[in-house]
Amino acid sequence: MADTLPLDSAANARHGSSIGQPLTRRDGVLKVTGQARYAADNHPPGLLHAVLAVSRIARGRVAFLDLAAAKAHPGVVEVMTPANRPLLAQDPDEKQGPFSFRLDLLQNDHVRYAGQPIAVVIAETLEAATEGATLLAPRYEAESTRLGLDAGEAFVPPAIGAGSPPEVRHGDIEAGLAGAAHRIEATYETPAQYHNAMEPHAIVASWDGNRLLVDTPSQGLAWARARLAGLFGIAPEDVHVRSPFLGGGFGSKGLISGPQILGAVAARMVGRPVKLVLRREQMYGPVGHRAPTQQVLRLGAAPDGGLTALAHHVRTVTSSFDDFYEAACDVSHTLYASPAIVTTADAVRVDTGTPIFMRAPGEASGSIALESAIDEMALACGMDPLEFRLRNYAEVEPISGKPFSSKALRECYRQGAERFGWAGRPLAPRQMRDENGLLVGWGLGTATFPAIMFQGQARAVLRRDGSGLAELGAQDMGQGAWTALAQIAADSLGLPLARLEFRAGDSNLPDAGIAGGSGHTATAGTALHSAGADAIGKLAALAMADERSPLFGAGNAGVIAREGMLLRRDDESRGESFAAILGRAGLEEVEGRGHGAADAAAQEHYAMHAHGAVFAEVKVDPELGQIRATRLVGAFAAGRIINPRLVRSQYYGGMIWGVSFALHEKAVLDRRSGRVMNADLAEYHVPVNADVPSLEAILVEEIDPHVNPLGVKGVGEIGITGSAGAVANAVWHATGIRPRRFPIGPEALIGGAPG
Amino acid sequence: MSLSITLTINGTPRTVELDDPRVTLLDLLRERLDLTGTKKGCDRGQCGACTILLDGRRVNSCLALALSHDGAEILTIEGLADGEACHPIQAAFIAHDAFQCGFCTPGQIMSALGLIQEGSAGDDPERVREGMSGNLCRCGAYRGITEAVLEAQQRMSRDAREEVA
Amino acid sequence: MNRFDYIRPATVTEAIAAAAIPGSAYLAAGTNLIDLMKGGVLRPERLIDINHIPGLDRIEHLPDGGVRIGAQLRNADLAADPDFARRFPAIAEALLSGASAQLRNAATLGGNLLQRTRCAYFYDTASACNRRQPGSGCDARGGENRLHAILGWSDACIATHPSDLCVPLAAFGATLEIEGRDGRREVALEDLHRLPGEAPEQESVLAPGELIIALRLPAEAATFAPHARYIKLRERTSYAFAVVSAAAGLRLEGGVITEARLALGGVAAKPWRAEAAERALTGAPPDAASFGRAAEAALAEARPSGDNAYKIELARRILVRALTLAAAGTPERLPALPASPFAPLPGGRPHG
């Protein structure tokens, strides 16, 4: 990895010294001592507690609320309902743009999903507010619930995911299938899943006249601010959102949710600060989820195993009142070479909350189906699953024909397979047992996620005392922005990390774009990188124009910033400190501004994706069907790695989500009531520590000169993709039973002959 | 109704006037005593984020009625470090990147302390994984957590031996 | 959670007197009660806190070889008692396979026995549930019921009892000392929980205000120690309720089973002692054929209550597994993953 990066517009460069270092988290001490202040940890004076009452029906209207009983409960201050909720400047049902979703802010008495907020009880204590919400004892006029992938007539939405076309056709799929030596057609089902960040959505809101201060977890501070400002009819500058730490987000905190906004509305109503924290069961409704899918994969292959056709259809659901479509088929656009690829999507409307982006949206659901189907086809061709994937390796992006900006997937396969010990794996299933007689299976999945960038801004300052400041409204939901972005900023300013003040997590700072889509480090990092370059450029201009500087006249050769010094590129013995330059110029500081965004020209020419290969071992009890993912090795290539320690953690987390996708998590909906019957953490199973005894992540070197100036792709989501399929394929290899409904339960595995 | 209880919290005796019998230890700490390091993830004993040591034992503070624990000794994450110096478990969590978002972390650390003091896991990673399975981590930091607990356990038993010597 | 009066009796007598007032509930650790109150499932007007009554948390090894355990003893403390774990290893294993370490540190034995079903329709106050609200119906029928009962259920209720501890207790003939206003009486653990029948709200034979004081295990229960196991099928490796579970104890002499103890968990509204299967095993060799016949006998009356026919087969298989493990011998130390299929067995496991 080169340690010097070219700058976009200047001959000036700086050496990297922080980037690439496996630093521990800069916020680590705060987090291990309990001092990191999450939204619900705030207690402004005069604070009241608000608790939502939510609907227990999925469709109809609220006919009665026992307001008297709630208000009579000692400590209850107010009950906010559609009848008395303060007016808002915007209709919550009015879409404000493509990433704006309809909100339930007590605009009427209609109910459109179970778990929808129908009232807010505000009280002096949490206990009183909680009981007040119970005492409302709503009565409803219920209508029949529409639920399930067959709930109504399917339609083709205008766009899926973040704006992909619902149908993509490349080549002649029917000819490819007709001419194939091997064909498979299989249907896979994935359930509704809920993000379930450990931190429930929370807000502490206070008003000062028409100015609003909120502490609330947000993956997108600027969007949250704009949404609040729009709804309250105030200027964005009058909304201050603080979110220094998120207790996880995974997509559910990307857009400010209805309940969070209701906390601010409640504060406005009572004229005192209000804290509103969702109860865990209330996380299964108004804050989004991953929609269920049914996916049909049709594959054809030539006698030598080369794919001749790949058709991927997804049926999904959206809410009755808004549009978000899980783009599960999109993963098939980019991963395997095939002369014919068709992806199609349709959907039905159901009475649930609106689905939303959830870690690896589209790709996670699509990957488990595609990787299962690829495994099925490898078997049909009598080929090792790795050999089959290499046979169908996409040298260019299959549909677009674009070259990849970088793609070290082959190396991921090689390193992962070697580390895992894949060689010698028997082709046939049910061949391996451990010393205790448990069935052992090995499976493989290819991981992929697009390298996305949003728009972001940053500000960087060099100060006369030799220190620096970098700031932007970046969000750390656990991925490590406090650390990784500071590393980028320090390098961009040519400062050791210890001399850098780094600010983030506040809407008053420059808009750093959303922390999502695995695009935050690339976007915010590029903004910081260019802000630093801007500041260094200004400092260099001061020095080079000053006869008293040893850098005078270095213009053509350029300078390098390192350890608080500017040095002549052609003679590093000549240079001086930032402080000296500023001091002589009589300036307290120089300021740089930076912008991060995708390079449209580069995108025109290159396909940009991170890749990986995940190898999984599972053990299955042959009689009881209980499964444990005993060993996972993932090898990932995602461009430049800013902080390998944090990146490994991202991969581990993603891989565990993959295990969870394949084996554990599933929302159980009662089709009659529309209620999630396991809306908790006891029965909605996410993996526990004992579920993942062995994880390894290999960081495969990949230098990408095109994706952005830092060469950074994203790492937050790719770990799920590949992993879920690898586990599913390992279950097949252990048992000979091909799982096609996820998560895989014991009942799927006990049908076979015991023992 | 005023109900007075006495608790020793992080070594300091405190008399707490409760105006409401419903207050759990978790809500007492968080909402009334400004000890917000202990987190509420589920409020139903299903996630472990609220783990504290109650009379030396790790428990879910969300299901413990404060009134019922009159006279109890409580250790929370705020009382673990020795002044500015991190406790060995805290240090090991940082070194092994045993957290991401950090929300479950106070509970994980208090649970790790309970586990180590119980003394049944020793240096067996499988026993540590099982013993830490009452603490969910949605970010998926389990590998680091297990490594951190093992390392801290080693260091604490070494320190204890040295103290004896 | 509703407001309630809080009463802290100093003696059992005071507690029982206090609980005589309708609307009262005993508060032990609260790991189940407080959870249910937070969900609005239970709304007692008075909590009688029995945590401060001295003397209810002792383990007494009785002169006749039996053991008497105070109902207020914490689950973790019983499992950690070396004498107890040595003499009753399947019970210790069941204890350690339940919930999490934190919950086991708090939860009492009495509370464990009386914990309520995990049926989602019981927990969901908007659903019809005869157990929670007599006469309202049962939304679990025709609902999401893949984990529900396969034995002893009725049209009124298909819920299961979730306790792990109760399963080996039923197998090994535990009895309970119960005290009420009319004095003290003994009830066999097996008789504590009622099957739903027409009145699923009557979950146990306890009269209102009766308190479980202690649990006794007969000396005979310890004779199974060399061959006693508990095994539990879960949907994650730890911290999950059983899909099905089984406790087995064998006495072996000369290659023949002289006595067997068997119970199933997760299959009915009570821990399900499989006496027909026990009888079938008496005098039989400890082999797969005997175990298979026993499992058939145990599940002879089973029928699905919904989308759970698979549980009948799983219950058969877990009984066979429990017997196989018991026959192989109790391990010296409980495995790292108690009651788990992934716990290694010294010498390897006889999977087909």
Written in H, E and C, the secondary structure of A359-371 is CCCCHHHHHHHHH
pLDDT digits (tens, 9 = 90+) for C58-75: 999 999 999 999 999 999
What pLDDT score was predicted for residue A735? 98
3 state DSSP class of A731: helix
Is A249 within 8 Å of A197 (Cβ atoms)? yes
Pairing mode of beta strands A60-64, A110-111: antiparallel
Write phi, then psi, for A564 (nearest 5 degrees). Answer: 80, 10
| Nearest CA distance, B37 vs chain A (angstrom) | 4
CB contact under 8 A, C49 and B64: no
What are the distances in angstroms from CA A333 to CA A165, A341, A388, B72, C176? 12, 7, 18, 61, 65
Tokens of C278: 């026990």
Task: List strand residue ranges (DSSP E) for A389-499, in order.
Answer: 432-433, 439-450, 456-463, 468-471
Statement: residue A338 has pLDDT above 60? yes
Is A454 within 8 Å of A522 (Cβ atoms)? no
Topology of domain C5-52, CATH: 3.30.43
Closest CA to A316 of A502, A98, A156, A490: A156
Q: Which helix (H) or strand (E) holds A476?
A: none
Tokens of C20: 């005589």
**Which residue from C minimizes the CA distance to B127?**
C336
CB contact under 8 A, A649 and B97: yes
For testing contact with chain A, the best of C119, C237, C337 (most A CBs within 10 A): C237
Distance, CA of A479 to CA of C205 (rounded, Å): 54
Statement: residue C300 has pLDDT above 70? yes
Distance, CA of C327 to CA of A398 (rounded, Å): 59
CB contact under 8 A, A653 and B140: yes
- Enter the DSSP assignment of A634: E
**Closest CB to C1 among A57, A127, A675:** A127
Res. A12 pLDDT band, cuts 50 70 90: very low
Distance, CA of A443 to CA of A725 (rounded, Å): 8
Pairing mode of beta strands C24-27, C46-49: parallel
**Closest CB to B131 among C29, C99, C101:** C101
Distance, CA of B53 to CA of B80 (rounded, Å): 10
| Nearest CA distance, B30 vs chain C (angstrom) | 18
pLDDT digits (tens, 9 = 90+) for A636-691: 999 999 999 999 999 999 999 999 999 999 999 999 999 999 999 999 999 999 99
CB contact under 8 A, C34 and B126: no
Long-range CB contacts (within 8 A, 24+) of C284-290: C284/C256, C284/C257, C285/C255, C285/C256, C285/C257, C286/C250, C286/C252, C286/C255, C286/C256, C286/C257, C286/C323, C286/C327, C288/C320, C288/C324, C288/C350, C290/C257, C290/C323
Res. A98 pLDDT band, cuts 50 70 90: confident
Partner chains of A (3+ C-beta pairs under 8 Å): B, C
Contacts of C25 in chain B (CB under 8 A): none
Encode A510-541: b = buried (16+ Cβ within 10 Å), e = exposed.
Answer: bbbbbbbbbbbbbbbbbbbbbbbbbbbbbbbe
Contacts of A682 in chain B (CB under 8 A): 44, 46
CB contact under 8 A, C30 and B130: no
CATH for B3-79 (3.90.76.10, 3.30.70.141, 3.10.20.30, 3.40.50.720): 3.10.20.30
Q: Which helix (H) or strand (E) holds A101?
A: none
| Nearest CA distance, C207 vs chain B (angstrom) | 25
Topology of domain C226-328, CATH: Enolase-like; domain 1 (3.30.390)
Write phi, then psi, for B38 (nearest 5 degrees). Answer: -75, 130
Torsion of CA A274, A279, A284, A289, to 10 degrees: 60
Q: How many CA atoms lie within 13 A of A386 on its CB side?
A: 27
Sheet holding A341-350, edge to edge: A167-170, A341-350, A307-319, A293-301, A182-190
pLDDT digits (tens, 9 = 90+) for A699-744: 999 999 999 999 999 999 999 999 999 999 999 999 999 999 999 9
Give me the residue spans of the domains in chain C.
Answer: 5-52, 226-328
**Closest CB to C3 among B21, B65, B111:** B21
Radius of gyration of chain A (CA): 27
Pairing mode of beta strands C175-180, C211-217: antiparallel
What pLDDT score was predicted for residue A292? 98
Statement: residue A1 has pLDDT above 90? no
Is C16 within 8 Å of C209 (Cβ atoms)? yes
Tokens of C326: 């018991």
Distance, CA of A632 to CA of A616 (rounded, Å): 4
Res. A16 pLDDT band, cuts 50 70 90: low
Type of residue at A749: L
What pLDDT score was predicted for residue A229? 98
Write phi, then psi, for A579 (nearest 5 degrees). Answer: -60, -40
DSSP assignments along A662-728, one per residue: HHT----B-TTT--BTT-SSSSS----GGG---EEEEE-----SSS-TT-B---TTTTHHHHHHHHH
C interface with B, Cβ–Cβ below 8 Å: 1, 3-6, 8, 27, 29-31, 34-35, 38-39, 47, 49, 51, 76, 80, 99-103, 105-106, 237-239, 336-338
Contacts of C313 in chain A (CB under 8 A): 750
| Nearest CA distance, C183 vs chain B (angstrom) | 26
Is A64 within 8 Å of A136 (Cβ atoms)? no
Partner chains of B (3+ C-beta pairs under 8 Å): A, C
Res. A8 pLDDT band, cuts 50 70 90: very low
Closest CA to C271 of C295, C304, C246: C246
Contacts of A143 (CB under 8 A, 6+ apart): A59, A60
CA angle A362, A365, A370 (to 5 degrees): 105
**Which residue from A minimizes the CA distance to B101?**
A478
Distance, CA of A126 to CA of A119 (rounded, Å): 16
Q: How many CA atoms lie within 13 A of A719 on its CB side?
A: 29
**Closest CB to B86 among A32, A126, A197:** A32
3 state DSSP class of A501: strand
Q: How many CA atoms lie within 13 A of A444 on its CB side?
A: 29
CB contact under 8 A, B81 and A35: no
Res. B84 pLDDT band, cuts 50 70 90: confident
Sheet holding A468-471, edge to edge: A500-503, A468-471, A456-463, A589-596
Contacts of C338 in chain B (CB under 8 A): 130
* More confident site: A8 or B55: B55
CB contact under 8 A, A134 and C146: no
Enumerate residues 475 to 534 of chain A having a beta carbon within 8 A of any beta carbon in chain B.
477-480
pLDDT digits (tens, 9 = 90+) for B20-39: 999 999 999 999 999 999 99
CB-count burial class (<10 Å; 0-12, 13-18, 19+) for A63? exposed
Distance, CA of A244 to CA of A251 (rounded, Å): 17
Distance, CA of A617 to CA of A135 (rounded, Å): 51
CB contact under 8 A, C103 and B134: yes
CB-count burial class (<10 Å; 0-12, 13-18, 19+) for C25? middle
Interface check for B88 against chain A (CB to CB < 8 A): the answer is: no
Alpha carbon B88 to its chain's center: 14
Topology of domain B88-164, CATH: DNA polymerase; domain 1 (1.10.150)
**Closest CB to C341 among A127, A433, A624:** A624
What are the distances in angstroms from CA A521 to CA A531, A532, A625, A650, A707? 15, 15, 41, 13, 12
Contacts of B112 in chain C (CB under 8 A): none
B interface with C, Cβ–Cβ below 8 Å: 3, 20-22, 24, 43-45, 48, 51, 54, 57-60, 63-65, 67-68, 111, 114-115, 118, 120, 124, 126-127, 129-131, 133-135
Q: Which residues of A are catalytic?
A: 717
Written in H, E and C, the secondary structure of A165-231 is CCEEEECCHHHHHHCCCEEEEEEEEECCECCCCCCCCEEEEEEECCEEEEECCCCCHHHHHHHHHHH
Closest CA to C210 of C42, C50, C352: C50
pLDDT digits (tens, 9 = 90+) for A536-595: 999 999 999 999 999 998 887 889 999 999 999 999 999 999 999 999 999 999 999 999
A interface with C, Cβ–Cβ below 8 Å: 56-57, 74, 127, 130-131, 134, 433, 435-438, 619, 621-626, 628, 663-664, 668-670, 672-673, 675, 677-678, 682-683, 685, 687-691, 745-747, 750, 754-755
Lowest-confidence segment of A455-459, B157-161, C333-337 by average pLDDT: B157-161
Task: Count CB neighbours of A674 within 10 A.
Answer: 26
Partner chains of C (3+ C-beta pairs under 8 Å): A, B
What are the distances in angstroms from CA A81 to CA A86, A108, A285, A478, C2? 9, 9, 18, 35, 22
What pLDDT score was predicted for residue A7? 31
Tokens of A461: 């300052």
Interface check for B3 against chain A (CB to CB < 8 A): the answer is: no
Distance, CA of C44 to CA of C21 (rounded, Å): 11
Interface check for A127 against chain B (CB to CB < 8 A): the answer is: yes
Contacts of B132 in chain A (CB under 8 A): 689
Contacts of C93 (CB under 8 A, 6+ apart): C168, C229, C230, C334, C338, C339
pLDDT digits (tens, 9 = 90+) for C132-163: 999 999 999 999 999 999 999 999 999 999 99
Is C305 within 8 Å of C266 (Cβ atoms)? no
3 state DSSP class of A245: coil
Distance, CA of A338 to CA of A396 (rounded, Å): 11
| Nearest CA distance, C2 vs chain A (angstrom) | 6
What pLDDT score was predicted for residue B83? 87
Taking residues C166-174, report their average pLDDT. 98
Res. C347 pLDDT band, cuts 50 70 90: low
CA angle A36, A37, A41 (to 5 degrees): 140
pLDDT digits (tens, 9 = 90+) for B3-17: 899 999 999 999 999
Give me the residue spans of the domains in chain B.
Answer: 3-79, 88-164
Taking residues B137-143, report their average pLDDT. 98
What pLDDT score was predicted for residue C297? 98
What pLDDT score was predicted for residue A659? 98
What pLDDT score was predicted for residue B109? 98
What pLDDT score was predicted for residue C344? 84
Domains and CATH numbers, chain A: 13-36+455-596 (3.30.365.10), 39-143+201-277 (3.30.365.10), 293-452+604-749 (3.30.365.10)
Res. A248 pLDDT band, cuts 50 70 90: very high
For testing contact with chain A, the best of C32, C342, C349 (most A CBs within 10 A): C342
Average pLDDT value for chain C: 97
Contacts of A678 in chain B (CB under 8 A): none
Interface check for B86 against chain A (CB to CB < 8 A): the answer is: yes
What are the distances in angstroms from CA B54 to CA B15, B28, B114, B124, B136? 16, 14, 10, 25, 20
| Nearest CA distance, A663 vs chain B (angstrom) | 15
Q: Which helix (H) or strand (E) holds C26?
A: strand C24-27
Taking residues A278-288, report their average pLDDT. 98
